[in-house]
Structure 1
Amino acid sequence: MNQRMTTGEALAWFDTLGTVSVEEMLGRWRGEGIDTGHYLDGMLEAARWHGKVFESADEGFPLVHYGPFGGRYCINPALLPIRLCAALPAKSVLFPVLMPVLRPILSTRKPKSRLRMTEYRGKLSATMIYDAKPINDVFRRIDADSVLGLMDHRGDAEPFFFKLIREA
Structure 2
Amino acid sequence: MENIDFLNVILRNGTSQEEAFAFYDQLDIAEPEEMIGMWKGEEIVTGHPLEGLLTASGWYGKEFIGEEHVHPLIFKKSNEVLYTINPNLLPINFLLQSLHNIPKKILPSSMTILRPILKTNKSKARLRKVKHRGKVTSAMIYDNKGIIDVFRKVDANTLLGIMDIKEQLPDKAFFFILRKV
Q: Same fold (TM over 0.5)?
A: yes
Query: Please, what is the CA RMSD of the aligned residues?
Result: 1.3
Q: Distance in 2 between matches of 1:70 and 1:155?
A: 33
Structure with bigger helix share is 2
> 2:55 — aligned with what?
45
Cα distance 1:2–1:91, how it changes in 2: closer, same or farther (>3 A)?
Answer: farther
1:100 counterpart (86, 89, 112): 112
What secondary structure is seen at the aligned counterpart in 2 of 1:60? strand
Percent of aligned pairs with the same amino acid: 43
Q: TM-score, normalised by structure 2?
A: 0.89
Q: Distance in 2 between matches of 1:91 and 1:62?
A: 24
Report deviation, 1:92: 1.4
Report deviation, 1:85: 3.1
Which runs of 5 or more residues in structure 2 are unaligned? 1-9
Q: Distance in 1 between matches of 2:44 and 2:92?
A: 18
Which runs of 5 or more residues in structure 1 are unaligned? none
Q: Distance in 1 between matches of 2:103 and 2:66?
A: 33
Residue 69 (str. 1) matches residue 83 (str. 2): no
Q: Distance in 1 between matches of 2:103 and 2:43?
A: 15
Structure with bigger strand share is 1
1:52-81 CA distances to partner (integer Å, 9 max, x unpaired)?
A: 001111000010000133301001000000
Q: TM-score, normalised by structure 1?
A: 0.95
Letter in 2 for 1:82: I
4+ residue runs of structure 1 moved beyond 3 angstroms? none
Residue 162 (str. 1) matches residue 171 (str. 2): no
Name whichever of 2-11 and 17-26 sits farther off.
2-11
Letter in 1 for 2:178: L
Cα distance 1:91–1:82, how it changes in 2: closer, same or farther (>3 A)?
Answer: farther
